[in-house]
Amino acid sequence: MTPEAATEMIRGGLYMIIKCALPVLLVSMAIGLAVSIFQTITSIQEQTLTFVPKVIGIFLTLMLLGNWLINNIVGFTTDLWSNFVYYVHK
């Protein structure tokens, strides 16, 4: 395996991680921001208040985007395994 091939494989893996994690992280961040603004406006300072809305938001995001996420991950894994012979070739 050449250094260029290893670099390309790592780059593709990191891009896949970011691409699949970004929707869930953005939803979690948006819900956290909305709850924080609500807490500031109402002067409620309960630390556990953000937990349930975030869990529900992440669950709904995974339900809506689960098929897309799985297709991306399976496609990336299939590409890696189909090019396996090129990675072990000298």
- Give the model confidence (pLDDT) of 36-68 as tens digits: 999 889 888 888 888 999 999 999 999 999 999
pLDDT at 89: 67
In angstroms, rounded to a whole number, what is the distance separating the alpha carbons of residues 10 and 26?
24
pTM greater than 0.85: no
Higher per-residue confidence, 83 vs 66: 66
- Crossing angle for the helix pair 3-42 and 51-82, nearest 10 degrees? 170
